[in-house]
Amino acid sequence: MKIDLAGKRVLVTGASRGIGRAIATGFAAEGARVAICARTDTAIQAAADDLRGRTDHVLARSVDVGDTAQVQDFVRAIADAWGGVDVLVNNAGQGRGGNIDTLAPEGILEHANLLQVAHFRVAQAVVPYMRKQRWGRIIDISAVAGTVPTPDGIPSVVNRAACIALSRSLGMALAKDNILVNSLNMGWIDTGQWDRHHKEMGPGVSRAEFDAMVTKVVPIGRFGKPEDVVGIALFLASDHAGFITGASIDIAGGMSGQIAYYPTLKRDMIEMGRQRMDAQGVDAQGMAPGA
Protein backbone atom coordinates (compact mmCIF):
# COMPACT_ATOMS: atom_id res chain seq x y z
CA MET A 1 0.00 0.00 0.00
CA LYS A 2 1.34 3.39 -0.97
CA ILE A 3 0.13 6.37 1.01
CA ASP A 4 0.36 9.36 -1.31
CA LEU A 5 0.28 12.63 0.59
CA ALA A 6 2.47 14.65 -1.76
CA GLY A 7 1.32 18.25 -1.91
CA LYS A 8 -1.32 17.89 0.81
CA ARG A 9 -1.69 21.01 2.95
CA VAL A 10 -1.43 19.91 6.57
CA LEU A 11 -1.85 21.87 9.80
CA VAL A 12 -0.51 20.30 12.99
CA THR A 13 -1.11 22.12 16.27
CA GLY A 14 1.13 21.61 19.29
CA ALA A 15 3.92 20.55 16.94
CA SER A 16 7.03 21.88 18.69
CA ARG A 17 7.76 18.54 20.36
CA GLY A 18 6.51 15.06 21.14
CA ILE A 19 3.63 13.54 19.21
CA GLY A 20 2.84 16.68 17.21
CA ARG A 21 6.41 17.09 16.03
CA ALA A 22 6.66 13.40 15.10
CA ILE A 23 3.41 13.60 13.09
CA ALA A 24 4.52 16.79 11.32
CA THR A 25 7.82 15.12 10.46
CA GLY A 26 5.96 12.11 9.08
CA PHE A 27 3.82 14.27 6.80
CA ALA A 28 6.88 16.20 5.64
CA ALA A 29 8.66 12.95 4.79
CA GLU A 30 5.67 12.03 2.60
CA GLY A 31 5.96 15.25 0.61
CA ALA A 32 3.16 17.20 2.27
CA ARG A 33 3.19 20.93 2.84
CA VAL A 34 3.26 21.34 6.61
CA ALA A 35 2.07 24.23 8.79
CA ILE A 36 2.86 23.96 12.47
CA CYS A 37 2.12 25.99 15.55
CA ALA A 38 2.69 26.01 19.29
CA ARG A 39 2.71 28.65 21.98
CA THR A 40 6.49 29.02 22.34
CA ASP A 41 8.00 30.80 19.34
CA THR A 42 11.58 29.61 19.78
CA ALA A 43 10.45 25.98 20.06
CA ILE A 44 8.18 26.07 17.02
CA GLN A 45 10.84 27.77 14.90
CA ALA A 46 13.35 25.09 15.89
CA ALA A 47 10.86 22.43 14.80
CA ALA A 48 10.32 24.31 11.53
CA ASP A 49 14.06 24.39 10.85
CA ASP A 50 14.13 20.60 11.22
CA LEU A 51 11.17 20.16 8.88
CA ARG A 52 12.78 22.33 6.21
CA GLY A 53 15.37 19.61 5.82
CA ARG A 54 12.55 17.29 4.69
CA THR A 55 10.20 19.50 2.67
CA ASP A 56 10.41 22.84 0.87
CA HIS A 57 7.01 23.96 2.15
CA VAL A 58 6.85 24.82 5.86
CA LEU A 59 4.88 27.51 7.69
CA ALA A 60 5.39 28.02 11.42
CA ARG A 61 3.94 30.45 13.92
CA SER A 62 3.51 30.92 17.64
CA VAL A 63 -0.22 30.46 18.23
CA ASP A 64 -2.28 30.14 21.41
CA VAL A 65 -5.05 27.71 20.46
CA GLY A 66 -7.08 29.14 23.32
CA ASP A 67 -7.37 32.40 21.37
CA THR A 68 -9.89 32.37 18.52
CA ALA A 69 -8.41 35.38 16.71
CA GLN A 70 -4.90 33.88 16.68
CA VAL A 71 -6.20 30.57 15.35
CA GLN A 72 -8.27 32.17 12.60
CA ASP A 73 -5.40 34.44 11.57
CA PHE A 74 -2.98 31.53 11.19
CA VAL A 75 -5.46 29.45 9.20
CA ARG A 76 -6.06 32.41 6.87
CA ALA A 77 -2.31 32.78 6.41
CA ILE A 78 -2.05 29.10 5.44
CA ALA A 79 -4.92 29.43 2.97
CA ASP A 80 -3.42 32.61 1.50
CA ALA A 81 -0.10 30.85 0.97
CA TRP A 82 -1.33 27.47 -0.24
CA GLY A 83 -4.94 27.97 -1.31
CA GLY A 84 -6.55 25.98 1.48
CA VAL A 85 -6.13 23.26 4.08
CA ASP A 86 -6.51 19.53 3.43
CA VAL A 87 -5.63 17.96 6.78
CA LEU A 88 -5.88 19.17 10.37
CA VAL A 89 -4.17 17.33 13.21
CA ASN A 90 -5.54 18.74 16.47
CA ASN A 91 -2.70 17.83 18.80
CA ALA A 92 -2.32 20.83 21.12
CA GLY A 93 -3.28 20.29 24.74
CA GLN A 94 -1.81 18.50 27.73
CA GLY A 95 -3.31 16.36 30.46
CA ARG A 96 -4.07 17.83 33.85
CA GLY A 97 -4.45 16.15 37.23
CA GLY A 98 -6.65 16.91 40.17
CA ASN A 99 -9.65 15.54 42.05
CA ILE A 100 -12.70 16.78 43.90
CA ASP A 101 -10.58 17.73 46.92
CA THR A 102 -7.92 19.70 45.05
CA LEU A 103 -9.61 21.26 42.01
CA ALA A 104 -11.24 24.62 41.58
CA PRO A 105 -14.11 24.48 39.06
CA GLU A 106 -12.41 27.23 37.06
CA GLY A 107 -9.42 24.93 36.55
CA ILE A 108 -11.58 22.48 34.64
CA LEU A 109 -12.91 25.30 32.45
CA GLU A 110 -9.43 26.64 31.78
CA HIS A 111 -8.28 23.18 30.69
CA ALA A 112 -11.37 22.79 28.52
CA ASN A 113 -10.56 25.98 26.63
CA LEU A 114 -7.12 24.62 25.73
CA LEU A 115 -8.39 21.19 24.80
CA GLN A 116 -11.97 20.41 23.72
CA VAL A 117 -12.83 24.03 22.87
CA ALA A 118 -9.48 24.44 21.10
CA HIS A 119 -10.19 21.35 18.98
CA PHE A 120 -13.51 22.90 17.98
CA ARG A 121 -11.92 26.33 17.44
CA VAL A 122 -9.31 25.07 14.97
CA ALA A 123 -11.76 22.74 13.21
CA GLN A 124 -14.22 25.61 12.75
CA ALA A 125 -11.47 27.69 11.17
CA VAL A 126 -10.42 25.05 8.60
CA VAL A 127 -13.82 23.55 7.69
CA PRO A 128 -14.86 26.33 5.25
CA TYR A 129 -11.79 25.63 3.12
CA MET A 130 -12.39 21.88 3.25
CA ARG A 131 -16.04 22.33 2.32
CA LYS A 132 -15.13 24.47 -0.66
CA GLN A 133 -12.95 21.68 -2.08
CA ARG A 134 -15.21 18.89 -0.78
CA TRP A 135 -12.30 17.04 0.79
CA GLY A 136 -10.83 17.15 4.24
CA ARG A 137 -9.41 15.12 7.08
CA ILE A 138 -9.46 16.09 10.76
CA ILE A 139 -7.50 13.93 13.20
CA ASP A 140 -8.01 14.73 16.88
CA ILE A 141 -5.30 13.57 19.27
CA SER A 142 -6.93 12.62 22.57
CA ALA A 143 -6.25 10.10 25.34
CA VAL A 144 -7.48 6.78 26.70
CA ALA A 145 -8.50 8.67 29.84
CA GLY A 146 -11.35 10.03 27.73
CA THR A 147 -12.68 6.55 26.97
CA VAL A 148 -12.16 4.90 30.38
CA PRO A 149 -12.75 7.15 33.42
CA THR A 150 -10.18 7.01 36.21
CA PRO A 151 -10.67 7.99 39.85
CA ASP A 152 -8.26 10.91 39.54
CA GLY A 153 -7.20 13.45 36.94
CA ILE A 154 -10.71 14.86 36.56
CA PRO A 155 -9.84 17.62 34.04
CA SER A 156 -8.24 15.11 31.67
CA VAL A 157 -11.05 12.59 32.12
CA VAL A 158 -13.93 14.94 31.40
CA ASN A 159 -12.27 17.12 28.77
CA ARG A 160 -10.74 14.22 26.83
CA ALA A 161 -14.14 12.52 26.86
CA ALA A 162 -15.63 15.72 25.45
CA CYS A 163 -12.94 15.78 22.73
CA ILE A 164 -13.84 12.25 21.66
CA ALA A 165 -17.54 13.07 21.65
CA LEU A 166 -16.82 16.16 19.55
CA SER A 167 -14.87 14.08 17.03
CA ARG A 168 -17.73 11.64 16.69
CA SER A 169 -20.28 14.43 16.35
CA LEU A 170 -18.27 16.27 13.69
CA GLY A 171 -17.53 12.99 11.97
CA MET A 172 -21.25 12.55 11.40
CA ALA A 173 -22.04 16.21 10.71
CA LEU A 174 -19.31 16.75 8.11
CA ALA A 175 -19.41 13.41 6.31
CA LYS A 176 -21.76 14.80 3.67
CA ASP A 177 -19.03 17.30 2.76
CA ASN A 178 -16.44 14.52 2.43
CA ILE A 179 -14.70 15.81 5.57
CA LEU A 180 -13.77 12.86 7.75
CA VAL A 181 -13.11 13.31 11.47
CA ASN A 182 -11.53 10.70 13.73
CA SER A 183 -9.98 10.54 17.18
CA LEU A 184 -6.70 8.86 18.17
CA ASN A 185 -6.57 8.17 21.90
CA MET A 186 -3.12 8.01 23.42
CA GLY A 187 -1.98 5.65 26.12
CA TRP A 188 1.39 5.99 27.78
CA ILE A 189 3.41 7.69 25.05
CA ASP A 190 6.89 8.69 26.22
CA THR A 191 7.28 12.29 25.11
CA GLY A 192 9.35 13.45 28.06
CA GLN A 193 6.48 14.14 30.45
CA TRP A 194 7.28 10.92 32.30
CA ASP A 195 10.52 12.52 33.51
CA ARG A 196 8.35 15.07 35.32
CA HIS A 197 6.05 12.37 36.69
CA HIS A 198 9.04 10.42 37.99
CA LYS A 199 10.30 13.49 39.85
CA GLU A 200 6.94 13.64 41.63
CA MET A 201 7.83 10.31 43.24
CA GLY A 202 10.68 11.83 45.22
CA PRO A 203 14.23 10.51 45.58
CA GLY A 204 13.12 7.24 47.18
CA VAL A 205 11.93 5.75 43.87
CA SER A 206 14.33 4.85 41.08
CA ARG A 207 13.46 5.51 37.45
CA ALA A 208 13.52 1.77 36.72
CA GLU A 209 11.00 1.12 39.51
CA PHE A 210 8.81 3.96 38.31
CA ASP A 211 8.84 2.77 34.69
CA ALA A 212 7.95 -0.76 35.80
CA MET A 213 5.01 0.60 37.79
CA VAL A 214 3.74 2.77 34.93
CA THR A 215 3.95 0.02 32.31
CA LYS A 216 2.38 -2.58 34.61
CA VAL A 217 -1.03 -1.49 33.29
CA VAL A 218 0.07 -1.70 29.64
CA PRO A 219 -0.47 -5.22 28.23
CA ILE A 220 2.24 -4.76 25.61
CA GLY A 221 4.63 -4.01 28.47
CA ARG A 222 6.32 -0.79 27.37
CA PHE A 223 5.85 2.90 26.76
CA GLY A 224 4.72 3.94 23.32
CA LYS A 225 6.88 6.28 21.27
CA PRO A 226 5.70 9.32 19.29
CA GLU A 227 6.65 7.41 16.15
CA ASP A 228 4.07 4.76 17.07
CA VAL A 229 1.36 7.34 16.34
CA VAL A 230 2.61 8.55 12.98
CA GLY A 231 1.57 5.63 10.75
CA ILE A 232 -2.11 5.66 11.70
CA ALA A 233 -2.24 9.47 11.37
CA LEU A 234 -0.82 9.27 7.84
CA PHE A 235 -3.28 6.50 6.96
CA LEU A 236 -6.30 8.46 8.23
CA ALA A 237 -5.17 11.45 6.17
CA SER A 238 -5.03 9.40 2.98
CA ASP A 239 -7.60 8.23 0.47
CA HIS A 240 -7.21 4.70 1.86
CA ALA A 241 -9.27 5.83 4.87
CA GLY A 242 -12.11 7.21 2.77
CA PHE A 243 -14.85 5.28 4.61
CA ILE A 244 -13.69 5.94 8.17
CA THR A 245 -15.24 8.79 10.11
CA GLY A 246 -16.42 9.27 13.68
CA ALA A 247 -14.03 6.51 14.77
CA SER A 248 -12.25 6.46 18.12
CA ILE A 249 -9.00 4.50 17.94
CA ASP A 250 -6.86 3.72 20.99
CA ILE A 251 -3.07 3.78 20.57
CA ALA A 252 -2.31 2.35 23.96
CA GLY A 253 -0.59 -1.02 23.72
CA GLY A 254 -3.78 -2.80 24.72
CA MET A 255 -4.43 -0.63 27.78
CA SER A 256 -8.08 0.04 28.47
CA GLY A 257 -9.74 -0.51 31.84
CA GLN A 258 -6.32 -1.16 33.35
CA ILE A 259 -5.74 2.60 33.38
CA ALA A 260 -8.08 2.87 36.37
CA TYR A 261 -5.47 1.12 38.54
CA TYR A 262 -2.74 3.65 37.80
CA PRO A 263 -3.66 6.32 40.41
CA THR A 264 -3.59 3.69 43.17
CA LEU A 265 -0.25 2.32 41.97
CA LYS A 266 1.15 5.84 41.87
CA ARG A 267 0.03 6.67 45.41
CA ASP A 268 1.42 3.37 46.71
CA MET A 269 4.78 4.04 45.05
CA ILE A 270 5.00 7.57 46.46
CA GLU A 271 4.31 6.20 49.92
CA MET A 272 6.94 3.48 49.46
CA GLY A 273 9.50 6.11 48.49
CA ARG A 274 8.66 8.21 51.55
CA GLN A 275 9.05 5.22 53.84
CA ARG A 276 12.45 4.48 52.33
CA MET A 277 13.59 8.05 52.88
CA ASP A 278 12.34 8.08 56.45
CA ALA A 279 14.18 4.82 57.15
CA GLN A 280 17.38 6.32 55.75
CA GLY A 281 16.95 9.64 57.55
CA VAL A 282 16.75 11.54 54.24
CA ASP A 283 14.32 14.38 53.50
CA ALA A 284 12.15 14.83 50.38
CA GLN A 285 15.00 16.63 48.61
CA GLY A 286 17.33 13.70 49.14
CA MET A 287 19.39 15.51 51.83
CA ALA A 288 20.39 14.03 55.17
CA PRO A 289 19.61 16.26 58.20
CA GLY A 290 22.35 18.85 58.74
CA ALA A 291 23.88 18.30 55.30
29-40 per-position pLDDT tens digit: 999 999 999 999
Which whole number is the average pLDDT over 190-219?
A: 92
Domain boundaries defined on the chain? 9-192+225-256
Pick the closest to residue 132 from 245, 12, 9, 239 (CA basis).
Answer: 9
Pick the closest to residue 186 from 229, 239, 237 (CA basis).
Answer: 229
Report pLDDT digits (tens) over 81-112: 999 999 999 999 888 888 889 999 999 999 99
Total H helices, total E strands in the chain: 10, 7
Query: For residue 96, what pLDDT is reported?
Result: 83
Report pLDDT digits (tens) over 116-152: 999 999 999 999 999 999 999 999 999 999 999 888 8
Give the global pTM. Answer: 0.93
Query: For residue 290, what pLDDT is reported?
Result: 45
pLDDT above 90 as % of the chain: 82
Q: Which CATH architecture has domain 9-192+225-256?
A: 3-Layer(aba) Sandwich (3.40)
Report pLDDT digits (tens) over 231-278: 999 999 999 999 999 999 999 999 999 998 998 899 999 999 999 989
| Torsion angle (degrees, nearest 10) of CA 175, 177, 180, 181 | -80
Q: Indicate if the pLDDT at residue 284 is higher than 80.
A: no
Per DSSP, helices labelled H in 174-287 are: 193-200, 207-215, 227-236, 262-280
- Element holding 135 (H helix, E strand): none
